[in-house]
Amino acid sequence: MSLSHWEYDTYFRDLDVAVIGGGIVGLNAAWALRRARPDLRVVVFERGSLPYGASTRNAGFACFGSVTEVMDDLERMPEAEVRALMARRYQGLRRLRENLGDDAIGYEPLGGWELIADDATMARCLAFLPTLNAWAAEFTGLPEAYADGTAHLAEFGFGGTRHLIHNRAEGLVHTGHMMDALMRQAVASGVSLCHGAWVERMDDDGDGVELHTQPFGPVRARRAVVCTNGFARQLLPALDVTPARAQVLVTDPIPGLRFRGAFHFDEGYYYFRNVGDQVLFGGARNLDFEGETTTEMVTTGLIQDRLERCLREVIIPGVDFRVQRRWSGIMGLGPTKSPIVQALSGTTVAAVRMGGMGVALGTLAGEEAAALALGTM
């Protein structure tokens, strides 16, 4: 497809910054660029009709780390990195809420909960809580963000669960509303959104970046900010980012649903919440790590069957339900859960690998990427 004179002149002539990826990170980067420099011409290239990846395909958790997840992280990452990452997630959520407003993103301060199946695991968690609460107090200001919540177990009606841990500093967001509000703010600031534009290749010549796009052909920009998360290696193969599919389902409304909030179990590999009186449930990627290391956005019988089984046995035992919708999204993972936000050259910045925590990390990652790009202009 050849661009007309009017299209090229309006959107692509003298382009200052091309932001590749129109999810939570990319839109925050673009918006931050225009807030800092209203004179810049900034275009977001998004290959999907809607944000393609995970920004509108996640569970909408405003969380910063369950107890067993943090304990597992400490076996793979230095303590200082784990603590810094928890703080960064919490601060990112605060920034998201400040930027867009709680009403616009459907924020609900319902707390986070972790289901613990056995006494031995709960004993380990309780022994770790004083340390974890001391760390969390540094950024939440709460003396006891995490606490034993087992007294609520009968109230929620879960099966196969002996204990609960409650985090009162967590909550829920409506990620569709969040992304719609973010798009509106970006456009109002003067950002141009170019949906259906797939950047197939980038050539960085030191003075600028040539984007090879479908369907528009070559487009040149002074700077490029790559915010494609799990798809990052398609453009930047040297980056240590692995795609990871997350599968989700949501039920029809369930009369008298007994729980409200964000819930995790099995080190965060399973997660569920209420959406009104519906149950949204995702995870089980640990059943098939190899098969779920993909950018193909489909669902599989193996994962979906396990999710339905857990609904019947753990989440709503004895309750009839019907699955209303199934979908998947693509996360970006790596050897550490810390994101990559760095200048790769004088003209290219990357903000990718959100580690399954894009809602929490995306706002700050986008703003930091914008600052890096501005620092070279």
DSSP 259-304: --SEEEETTTTEEEEEETTEEEEEE-GGG-TTTTSS------HHHH
Distance separating alpha carbons of residues 1 and 108, to the nearest angstrom: 45
Q: What is the pLDDT along the chain (377 residues), one digit of tens a residue?
A: 788 999 989 889 999 999 999 999 999 999 999 999 999 999 999 998 888 788 999 999 999 999 999 999 999 999 999 999 999 999 999 999 999 999 999 999 999 999 999 999 999 999 999 999 999 999 999 999 999 999 999 999 999 999 999 999 999 999 999 999 999 999 999 999 999 999 999 999 989 999 999 999 999 999 999 999 999 999 999 999 999 999 999 999 999 999 999 999 998 899 999 999 999 999 999 999 999 999 999 999 999 999 999 999 999 999 999 999 999 999 999 999 999 999 999 999 999 999 999 999 999 999 999 999 999 77
Distance separating alpha carbons of residues 228 and 105, to the nearest angstrom: 22
Predicted pLDDT of residue 51: 80
* Inter-residue contact 313 to 159 (CB < 8 Å): yes
Phi, psi of 41 (to 5 degrees): -90, 115
Longest dimension (CA), the chain: 69
What DSSP designation does 253 have? P
Can you give the residue ranges of every domain in the chain? 5-56+177-240+336-374, 62-173+242-333
Contacts with 274 (C-beta within 8 Å, 6 or more apart), sequence order: 257, 259, 260, 261, 280
CA dihedral 141, 146, 152, 157 (to 10 degrees): 120
Please list the residues that pair with 218 across neighbouring strands. 212
Domain pair 5-56+177-240+336-374 / 62-173+242-333, same fold: no
* Inter-residue contact 225 to 276 (CB < 8 Å): no
Distance separating alpha carbons of residues 349 and 371, to the nearest angstrom: 10
Q: Which of 365, 349, 361 is nearest to 42 (CA)?
A: 349
CATH number of 5-56+177-240+336-374: 3.50.50.60
Distance separating alpha carbons of residues 309 and 249, to the nearest angstrom: 12
3-state SS assignment for residue 49: coil
What superfamily would CATH give domain 62-173+242-333? D-Amino Acid Oxidase, subunit A, domain 2 (3.30.9.10)
Q: Which of 317, 202, 230, 281 is nearest to 23 (CA)?
A: 230
Type of residue numbered 261: G
Cβ of 109: how many Cβ atoms within 10 Å?
13
3-state SS assignment for residue 35: helix
* Inter-residue contact 51 to 308 (CB < 8 Å): no
Predicted pLDDT of residue 288: 96
CA dihedral 322, 328, 331, 333 (to 10 degrees): 80
User: Is the dihedral angle over the CA atoms 119, 319, 301, 241 positive or is it negative?
Assistant: negative
* Inter-residue contact 105 to 173 (CB < 8 Å): yes
